[in-house]
Chain A
Amino acid sequence: MDSYWKTLAVTATASATLLAAANISAAQDKPPVKIGFVTELTGPWSFFGTSCVAGLKFGEEQINSPGKRKIEFVITDNQTSPAQSVAASRSLDVQDKVLALSGPTSSDTGLAVYGYAEQNKVPFVVPVAAFPQLTKPGSRYTFRLEPNAAGWGYAIAKFVEKQKPGGKIAMIYSDYALMRAITAGLKYQAPLSKLQIVADIAFPQGSNDATVQAAQVLAAQPDYVVVIGAGGFDNTITNQLLDIGIKPQQLIHPFGITTQVMNWGKRSVGSYYGTFFDSNLDSLTPEGKTFVKDFIAKYGRPPSYGENFCFVTAHVIREALDKNPEAADDREKFRDAMSKLKTKETTSDIPIEFDKNGARKEYIYFMQMTDVEAKSYKAKQAFYAEWDPEVIPVYTLVK
Chain B
Amino acid sequence: MSNANWILFLSTLSTGLILGSIFSLVAAGVTIVYGSIWMPNAANGQFFLLAALFGWTLTVSWGIHPAIAAILVIGVSVPLSYLLEVLLIKRFYDVPNRNISYFVLSLGITQILAGVFSLTYGQWSDQFQLPPLITGITFIGPFPIANNRLAVLALAIAILAGLFLLLRFHRYGRALRAVFQNRDAAALRGVNVKASYSMSFALGNAVIFAGGILFALAYSFDLTVAWTMAITAFAIMIIGGPGSVLGAVVIGMVFGFTQAIVSVVASPTIAAFSYLGAMLVILLFKPSGLFAK
Residues of A within 8 A of B (CB): 42-44, 46-48, 50-51, 175, 201-216, 218-219, 230-236, 239, 243-245, 257, 259-260, 263, 265
Contact = CB atoms under 8 A, between A and B. Distances in A.
Given A42-B115, A50-B123, A244-B7, A209 B19 contact: yes
B126 A204 contact: no
Q: Which 7 A-B pairs have the closest CB atoms?
A: A235-B220, A231-B222, A232-B222, A206-B228, A232-B127, A219-B4, A47-B126
Nearest to B260: A212
A231 B224 CA distance: 9
Nearest to B9: A215
B211 to A, nearest CB: 12
A250 to B, nearest CB: 15
A263 B115 CA distance: 24
Contact of A212 (B128, B215, B220, B264): B264
B186 to A, nearest CB: 38
Nearest to A258: B125
A202 to B, nearest CB: 6
Contacts of B264: 212-213, 216
Contacts of B12: 212
30 contacts: A42-B118, A42-B122, A46-B118, A47-B125, A47-B126, A50-B123, A51-B123, A175-B269, A204-B269, A206-B228, A207-B272, A211-B14, A211-B15, A212-B8, A212-B263, A214-B11, A215-B143, A219-B7, A230-B222, A231-B224, A232-B127, A232-B219, A232-B221, A232-B225, A235-B220, A236-B221, A243-B146, A257-B126, A263-B125, A263-B128
B119 interface: yes
Contacts of B11: 211-212, 214-215, 244
B225 A206 contact: yes
A257 B126 CA distance: 10
A108 B227 CA distance: 20
B79 to A, nearest CB: 28
Contacts of A259: 125-127
Chain B binding site: helix, strand, loop or mixed by DSSP?
helix
A235 B144 contact: no
A232 B220 contact: yes
A202 B267 contact: yes
Interface string B104-145: 000000000001001100111111110000000100000111
A204 B220 contact: no
Contacts of A231: 126-127, 222-224
Contacts of A219: 4, 7-8
A204 B268 CA distance: 7
A203 B224 CA distance: 15
B220 A239 contact: yes
Contacts of B144: 243-245
B196 interface: no
A232 B259 CA distance: 19
A219 B146 CA distance: 18
Given A43-B118, A260-B127, A233 B222 contact: yes
Nearest to A260: B127
Contact of B259 (A202, A209, A233, A265): A209
Contacts of A46: 118-119, 122-123
A175 B264 CA distance: 16
A206 B272 contact: yes
A218 B7 contact: yes
B232 to A, nearest CB: 9
Contacts of B267: 201-202
Interface of B: 4, 7-8, 11-12, 14-15, 18-19, 115, 118-119, 122-129, 137, 143-146, 149, 215, 219-225, 227-228, 259-260, 263-264, 267-269, 272-273
Contact of B225 (A47, A208, A213, A215): A208
A76 B126 CA distance: 20
Contact of B118 (A44, A203, A212, A230): A44
A212 to B, nearest CB: 5
A300 to B, nearest CB: 10
A263 B127 contact: yes
A42 B119 contact: yes
A213 B127 contact: no
A318 B259 CA distance: 52
A203 B4 contact: no
Nearest to B223: A44
A263 B123 CA distance: 15
Contacts of B4: 215, 218-219
A366 to B, nearest CB: 21
Contacts of B263: 212-213
Contacts of B8: 212, 215-216, 219
A260 B222 CA distance: 12
A203 B7 contact: no
A206 B18 CA distance: 17
A206 B224 contact: yes
Interface-central residue, B7, B215, B228, B260, by most chain A CB under 10 Å:
B7
A164 to B, nearest CB: 22
A203 B14 contact: no
Contacts of A210: 268
Nearest to A265: B129
Contacts of B129: 232, 235, 239, 263, 265
Nearest to B5: A219
Nearest to A201: B268
Contacts of A215: 4, 7-8, 11, 143
A208 B7 contact: no
Contact of A207 (B126, B143, B223, B268): B268
A299 to B, nearest CB: 10
Nearest to A237: B220
A232 B19 contact: no
Given A43-B118, A239-B220, 6 more contacts: A50-B122, A202-B269, A213-B264, A232-B225, A243-B137, A263-B125
Contacts of B260: 209, 211-212
A50 B263 CA distance: 35
A208 B219 contact: yes
Interface-central residue, A201, A204, A216, A234, by most chain B CB under 10 Å:
A204
Contacts of A232: 126-129, 219-222, 225
B15 A212 contact: yes
